[in-house]
Each structure stands twice: as C-alpha cells, then as structure tokens.
Amino acid sequence: MTEEILPNLYKIEVPLPRNPLKAVNSYVIKEGGQSLIIDTGMNREECMRVMSAGLQELGVDLRKTDFFITHLHADHLGLVSSLATDTSTIYFNQPDADAISSGFNWDRAPNFAVLNGFPKDECNKAIANHPGRRYSSRGRLDFHILQEGDTLSIGDYFFRCIATPGHTKGHMCLYEPNKKLFMSGDHILIDITPNISLWSDDENPLNEYLNSLDKVYSLDIELVLPGHRRSFTNHKERIEELKHHHQTRANEVLSILKKGTRNAFQVASQMTWDMDYDSWELFPPPQKWFAFGEAVAHLKYLEEKGRVQKHRQGNGAVYSLK
Ligand SMILES: [Zn+2]
C-alpha cells in the first residue's frame, strides 16, 4: 500500500477510478510525530479509503499533519478538506487560491469554449461530468500562501518553493537542493504529458509552461517525484522531450490551418490524440473538453508568436495562418 522512497518519505498511490490518469501520487514525509502530505487525491470515497489505510499503515496522526498542495486540480487538492484537521496548515499558492475563490471559471470557461466552436450540448455534458467539479474539496479552505523561494522544512527535508505556472496559473513545485529531489506535481511527468489548457482570452499558459520548463531545467536534480505515474531521474532529457512534444503539436496545428480557416474546436477534432477511441466523434465529452483546451492553448501560443491570426466570426473566433 505504501512505499518508502527515501528515508521517512513515502508514496501512497491513490486510485482515480475511470480516469485516464489512473492514480495520483500522494507523498508523506513523517518525522517524529509530525507529518507533511504533498497532494491528496479526489474528494471521493475510493480515494479516501486508500488514503486512510495508507496513513494508518504509516501511523500518521492527522492532528499533527500539514499539507502542501501543488495546484488546484481536484485529484491533488480534493481530499484535503476531508483530511485536514483544525491544527493542520494547508500550504498553497496565491493564483490558484484566487481561481478557487472566484469560483474557478465554471461560468466563463463553457462560454469561452462555445465561442470557439464547442457544441453547446456537448459542452454542458462535459461540464456536468467534469471530475474537477464533482470531486473537488468542499467548504472554504484556509490556505497558508507560499511564494517562489519560500522554504518549507520537515525533519531532514529543507524544501524551496519553485513557482512553475503553466499546467495551472499558480502551479508550485518543491525542490530539496541537498537531496537533489524535486516534487514536480503535474509540471513534469514521464510516460504522459501534462495537460496545458486555455480557458480565457487573456492568458497564454503554453508560453508560461515552456518558460517554467526552462527554469526547472537548470536545477541540479537527481530524482523527480511526480504527481502521476513513476518517479524518474533524467529530468533534463524529459524536459527536452516535453518541449519537443509541444513544438510538434504547434506544427500540427499550423499544418491543419494550412488547409483553411478553422475554429479551435475544429482544430482539436483534426489533431491526433493518444486515446482508445476510433474517431473524434466517439470521444466522451470530457475528453473532447481536455483536447479542446489543449488545442486552443496552442492556437493562443502561435497567435502571440505571430504565426497565426485570430478573426472574429459572429460572437466567436476562428483562426488562420498569418
Ligand atoms: Zn493537474
């Protein structure tokens, strides 16, 4: 159930039923009676069951436990409202805390998607079934906000906060320079690529993400403990692959627009997706939703780079090559 990865640092693999991510990694550092939990799982029974059993196995006392949450997504933050006690501190970042307190963008994002060609009925279905909505934390959480360069220590672990915007606006990693250890959340993953999505006109998350990759590249890291899948050692190689991946995706978007003007939903439907469905039409609405978000993030990136032009069409937008 639990795996000791380094002295006093354990991993609990928390299952995410019927989710392509399969599981989220929760890390527990236990020193003396005190514990720090990094990311928690979704606010649903299947996660709680595994988490409770794991914490019990480790002898974690939740009254002496603090939490560090890498970003606002429900698979990382969701369960914290059930685990935290009134003596827990929940460390988090300001941009994601702001996104939560403004109701994330459950009103604005669907509007943005429909204006970019997402069919309204499918959009409603995607939103209704969105795991981020169903399994997020409940109630108001009191966060202790950390910023770039702030430190967080427990026992032998002296972490430094590294702001890595891109996957979310406030995504934050923890770096332990003495142990050359990097808790990457969803910033760098191996075997799968982190989802980079755009849900409003005034952001450019892919550009932020690529800058955050460059920032982490220069760190002296021996072991990456990510939010999903297995740990890995070759962070520079992985960062180069991720940058290459987004370059390839951007080129694919350009080659789709070479055939003519498209809205973002049409671009998404013509991109290649690593999914177990025979055609785009068979994708369940939530998968179309994630794919659309990625497509539009690449369009925005290319628009800012001057490669693509956005035109108004009715209330919406279409894109063409520049
Ligand atoms: Zn995430």
CA of 310 to the centre of ligand 1 (A): 28
What is the pLDDT, as a whole number, of residue 104?
Answer: 64
**What is the whole-number distance in angstroms between the Cα of residue 186 and the centre of ligand 1?**
5
Please count the helices (runs of H) and the strands (runs of E) in the chain. Answer: 11, 14
- Would you write out the chain's pLDDT as a tens digit for each of its 322 residues? 899 999 999 999 999 998 889 999 999 999 989 999 999 999 999 999 999 999 999 999 999 999 999 999 999 999 999 999 999 999 999 999 999 988 766 778 889 999 999 999 999 888 887 777 778 888 889 999 999 999 999 999 999 999 999 999 999 999 999 999 999 999 999 999 999 999 988 999 999 999 999 999 999 999 999 999 999 999 999 999 999 999 999 999 999 999 999 999 999 999 999 888 889 999 989 889 999 999 999 999 999 999 999 999 888 899 999 9
What distance in Å separates the CA atoms of residue 260 and residue 267, rounded to the nearest whole number?
10
Token pair of 85, please? 């006690």
167 CA to centre of ligand 1 in angstroms: 7
What is the per-residue pLDDT for 179?
98
Query: 78 vs 29, 69, 120, 134, 151, CA distance in Å?
Result: 19, 10, 27, 10, 24
Give residue 71 CA to ligand 1 midpoint distance, Å: 7
Task: Give distance in angstroms: CA of 222 to centre of ligand 1.
Answer: 23
Q: In the numeric block, which tokens belong to residue 123?
A: 């959009």
| Residues sharing a CB contact under 8 Å with residue 276, sequence separation 6 or more, in sequence order | none
Residue spans of beta strands (DSSP E) within 16-88:
23-31, 34-38, 65-68
Say if residues 65 and 86 touch (Cβ distance below 8 Å).
no
Q: Which residues, other chains included, contact 244 with Cβ-Cβ below 8 Å and sequence gap of 6+? A: none
Under a CB-based contact definition with an 8 Å cutoff, are residues 289 and 126 in contact? yes
The CA 59 to ligand 1 mean position distance, Å, reads 28
What is the Å distance from ligand 1's center to 73 Cα? 5
For residue 32, how far is its CA from the centre of ligand 1 (angstroms)?
Answer: 31
pLDDT (0 to 100) of residue 315: 83
**Alpha carbon of 233 to ligand 1 centroid (Å):** 21
Dist. CA 210 → ligand 1 center (Å): 16
pLDDT value of position 274: 84
Distance from residue 290's CA to the centre of ligand 1 (Å): 12
Q: Tell me the CA–centroid distance for residue 320 and ligand 1, in Å.
A: 30
- CA distances (Å), 220 to each of 155, 233, 242, 252, in order? 21, 11, 18, 33
pTM above 0.85, yes or no: yes
109 Cα to the center of ligand 1, angstroms:
17
